[in-house]
Structure 1
């Protein structure tokens, strides 16, 4: 079983551990407008799927703002940030933070994303939330980059994400 740390404390991850070259499972999430948001599988876009414990924390807010300013503006890329936040909280967060270029999706209903992508925090103070992770999925639906951030309170490697997206011929990246 994979582990991460939260504030230095080891936490187990539950769910199906995915690897680079695996097909990204298709999962339906709930959007901030209560409509369905689909991630994974084949798509006309390169997908960047980032999971965070909650949008309403300092590190998660910073990460989402950075994605909003950079990766989400790349042509041919769809960026989705997944959390367990309720859709109403996601709407409030996006409107107060000026987040316009990022799709947000909640996994609160059945934790399908967290389980199918292996990022469900299984124990500790944040049990039931998603770990901080990023998956880059090519148009065929194959995972070409995966980062499970080892310490949940730190940001992902943005340069590695951009490099993975660029490796698939992203336009205007």
Structure 2
């Protein structure tokens, strides 16, 4: 399990992120249109998984905005912003913010993404939500970068993640 903090208070995830070089586990997440998409829907592209607890918090919203800005300059790359927020909340946020360069996906229906990627929070006030992490999957479906952000209220290291591409 990963030891992380929420405003300095210790909490844990149920496990550790996938290892670099491993095949990324497939998933089935809900789109803002209430359809479903999985890893295989993005085959042949580099995939940035921007994962966070809730788009209705400041740091999570900032990460979506930042990746939205940076995604427009990336070739053959898609940014998937993943949380357990309802698709309605994700759509509302993107509409209000003019977010168009990332795809929002929700793990609300089954929670299997958080379990398969071992980043579901195990305890504390955010238990059962997703921890803040970035995982990059290459065009062959292999994990090439991971970051488990150690303090949930901190932003991920955007530059380091993008350099992995």
After TM superposition, the score normalised by the length of structure 2 is: 0.95
Unaligned runs of 5+ in 2: none
Which residue of the partner structure matches residue 62 of structure 1?
A: 62
- How far 1:2 sits from its partner (Å)? 1.6
Query: Greater CA deviation, 31-40 or 48-57?
Result: 31-40
After TM superposition, the score normalised by the length of structure 1 is: 0.91
Unaligned runs of 5+ in 1: 166-173
- How far 1:59 sits from its partner (Å)? 0.6
Which residue of the partner structure matches residue 24 of structure 1?
A: 24
Which residue of the partner structure matches residue 124 of structure 2?
A: 124
4+ residue stretches of structure 1 with deviation over 3 A? none
Cα 1:164–1:41 shift into 2, 3 Å: farther
Which residue of the partner structure matches residue 136 of structure 1?
A: 136
Counterparts of 1:16 and 1:108, CA distance in 2: 21
SS in 2 for 1:70: helix
Counterparts of 2:40 and 2:11, CA distance in 1: 25
Which residue of the partner structure matches residue 169 of structure 1?
A: none
Structure 1 residues 111-158: Cα deviation after superposition (integer angstroms, max 9, x where no partner)? 111111111001100001100000010111110000000001000111
Aligned length, in residue pairs = 165
Provide the aligned C-alpha RMSD in A: 1.5
Counterparts of 1:40 and 1:60, CA distance in 2: 25
